[in-house]
Amino acid sequence: MKIEGSVALVTGANRGIGKAYVRALIERGARKVYATGRNPEALDIEGAEHIALDITNPAQIAAAAAIAGDTTILINNAGIATNQSLMFGDLDLIRLEMDTHFFGLLGMVRAFSPILAHNGGGAIVNMLSLTSWFSYPGAEAYSAAKAAAWSLTNSIRLELAKQNTLVVGVQLGATDTDMMRGIDMPKNDPANVANAALDAIEAGDWEVLADDMTRRIKSALSLDPKALYADLIG
């Protein structure tokens, strides 16, 4: 499908990659872009229609679906990072990670997949992470939730193929967003990530590997786990 003339809805659009998606969609000729976020007053992107949406709130998901019934591209970008240990962290925050990255994602897909089917199939983009494949100290809850989101992405791809809906998983490492503020390391440009995902939609690709670190982690998945985690465990 083409980005030009499409109607897209972007979650978590108030900053970072979400805002980059909205701008890229507008620049590439999308007919309409719904920019959503928990705080609609922070949605200040000219040319987009703003909708209040917390993806952990089923009523707000239903309300957004009722408004955006012309959507042809759903970009699931909203996320959080609670920095919780699975063994010792706050269970409520760990559940929030799963509620956001798995159940919130699933809620969006279940609400919008019938809309996409009605509008010809369309596409779903799920923002994942290299932590889908590799756990880091200090991000264990995030890694577990993103691994669940990766599995969800593969599963819905099978289920939605019959309605001609393309499902794209975007895997990436450190990116220059508020979530990574204060961490001194090479980072992706959010605009480059957004445009790579939109390119994947137009090419019909299933997966985007946004940076070299992500490509290295994926290539190492066939290794024995002892080799993969040797530097972390010692």
For the stretch 9-24, pLDDT in tens is 999 998 889 999 999 9
The residue type of 184 is D
Cβ(178)–Cβ(216) below 8 Å: no
Confidence of residue 176 (pLDDT cuts 50, 70, 90): low
Confidence of residue 45 (pLDDT cuts 50, 70, 90): confident
**Is the pLDDT score of 180 beyond 60?**
no
**CA gap 202, 132 in Å, rounded:** 24
Using the structure block, give the residue that is written with the tokens 């001609």: 164
CA dist 71 to 11, 174, 200, 215, Å? Answer: 13, 29, 18, 31
Task: Provide mean pLDDT across the span 40-49.
Answer: 85
Beta strands in 87-138 (DSSP E): 123-127
The tens digit of pLDDT for each residue in 47-64 reads 999 999 999 999 999 999
Confidence of residue 116 (pLDDT cuts 50, 70, 90): very high
Q: Determine the CATH number of domain 7-233.
A: 3.40.50.720
Could you tell me whether strands 166-171 and 123-127 are parallel, antiparallel, or unpaired per DSSP bridges? Answer: parallel
Q: With pLDDT > 70 as the criterion, what percentage of the chain qualifies? A: 93
DSSP run (H or E) holding 208: strand 207-209
Worst-scoring range by mean pLDDT, 1-5, 155-159, 180-184, 200-204? 180-184
DSSP run (H or E) holding 64: helix 58-67
> CA triplet 13, 17, 21: central angle to 5 degrees?
70
| Average pLDDT over the chain, rounded to an integer | 92
Q: With pLDDT > 90 as the criterion, what percentage of the chain qualifies? A: 78
pLDDT number for residue 103? 98
Task: Provide mean pLDDT across the span 77-84.
Answer: 93
**CA gap 1, 53 in Å, rounded:** 26
**CA gap 16, 77 in Å, rounded:** 10
